[in-house]
Chain A
Amino acid sequence: MPKNYRDKNGDVPTNNATGDVSKNTMAQDESSFVAKKTSALKLWMRYIGINVRCTMQYKTSFFMMVLGQFFVSFSVFLGVYFMFQRFHSVKGYTYQEVLLCFAVFLMEFSIAEMVARGFDSFSSMVRTGSFDQVLVRPRNEVLQVLGSKFELTRIGRMLQALLMFVYAIPRCGVDWNFAKVLTLLFMLIGGTALFSGIFMIYAAFCFFTLEGLEFMNVFTDGAREHGKYPIDVYGKKMLFFGTFIIPYALVQYYPLTYVIGKNDNPLLIFLPLLALLFLLPSYAFWRFGVRSYCSSGS
Chain B
Amino acid sequence: MKSSLSIRKYQSFFRLRFIQGLQYRAAAAAGITTQFAWGFLLIIAFSAFYEADPAAFPMSFQDTVTYVWLQQAFLALFNTWMLENEIFDTISNGNIAYELCRPIRIYNMWIARSLANRFSRAVLRCSPILIVAFLVPKPYRMILPPDLGTFLLFVLSLVLGTAVATAFCMLVYGLTFFTISPQGVRVLFASLVDFLAGGIIPIPFMPDKVRAVIELLPFASMQNAPLRIYTGSLPAEEVKVMLGLQFFWLIALVLIGSSLCRLAERKACIQGG
A233–B34 touching, CB < 8 Å = no
Contacting residues, chain A, for B137 (C-beta < 8 A): none
User: Bound state CA distance, A91 and B52, in angstroms?
Assistant: 7
What is the size category of the interface that chain B forms with chain A?
35 or more
Of A67, A86, A213, chain B has the most CB atoms within 10 Å of the CB of A86
Nearest CB of B to A243, in Å? 17
Determine whether the beta carbon of B52 is less than 8 Å from that of A79: no
Cβ 8 A contact of A86, one of B33, B191, B205: B205
Inter-chain contacts of B53 with A (CB < 8 A): 86-88
Interface residues of A in 73-105 (CB under 8 A from B): 74-76, 78-79, 82-83, 85-91
Nearest-neighbour CB distance to chain B for A184, whole angstroms, equals: 24
Contact status of A83 and B205, CB under 8 A, knowing A88-B53, A226-B45, A234-B48: yes
CA distance A79 to B53 in the complex (A): 17
Chain A neighbourhood of B41, CB < 8 A:
222, 226, 234, 238
Closest chain A CB from B41 CB (angstroms): 5
- Tell me whether A229 is interfacial, beta carbon within 8 Å: yes
The 8 A CB mask of B193-229 against A (1 = contact, 0 = none) is 0110000110001110010000000000000000000
Chain B residues closer than 8 Å to A5, beta-carbon distance: none
Query: Is A65 located at the chain interface by the 8 A CB criterion?
Result: yes
User: In the complex where A71-B191, A234-B44 touch, is A60 in contact with B49 (Cβ < 8 A)?
Assistant: no
Q: Is B178 an interface residue (CB 8 A)?
A: no
- The docked-state distance in angstroms from the alpha carbon of A60 to that of B188 is 13
Q: A87-B53, A91-B52 are in contact. Are A82 and B33 (CB under 8 A)?
A: no
A215 to B44, CA, bound (A): 19
Cβ–Cβ contact A75 & B187, under 8 A: no
Residues 37-86 of B at the A interface (beta carbon under 8 Å): 37-38, 41-42, 44-45, 48-49, 51-53, 56, 58
Chain A residues with CB under 8 Å of B27's CB are 214
Instruction: Enumerate chain B residues within 8 angstroms of A238, measured Cβ to Cβ.
Output: 41, 44
Is B128 an interface position by the 8 A CB rule? no
B108 to chain A minimum Cβ distance, whole angstroms, is: 30
Least CB distance from A186 to B in Å reads 26
Question: Which B residues contact A (CB, under 8 angstroms)?
Answer: 27, 30-31, 33-34, 37-38, 41-42, 44-45, 48-49, 51-53, 56, 58, 181, 183-188, 190-192, 194-195, 200-201, 205-207, 210
> Can you list 18 pairs linking A and B with CB atoms under 8 Å apart?
A61-B181, A64-B183, A67-B188, A68-B190, A68-B191, A69-B187, A71-B188, A72-B191, A74-B191, A75-B191, A83-B49, A83-B201, A90-B45, A214-B33, A217-B34, A218-B37, A233-B48, A234-B45
Query: Known contacts A67-B188, A238-B44; can you find 19 more A-B pairs with CB under 8 A?
Result: A63-B184, A65-B187, A68-B184, A72-B187, A72-B190, A72-B191, A82-B201, A82-B207, A83-B201, A86-B58, A90-B52, A91-B52, A214-B30, A215-B37, A218-B34, A218-B37, A222-B37, A222-B38, A234-B45
Sort A-B residue pairs by CB-CB distance and give the 6 closest, nearest first: A64-B184, A68-B187, A214-B30, A75-B195, A79-B200, A72-B191
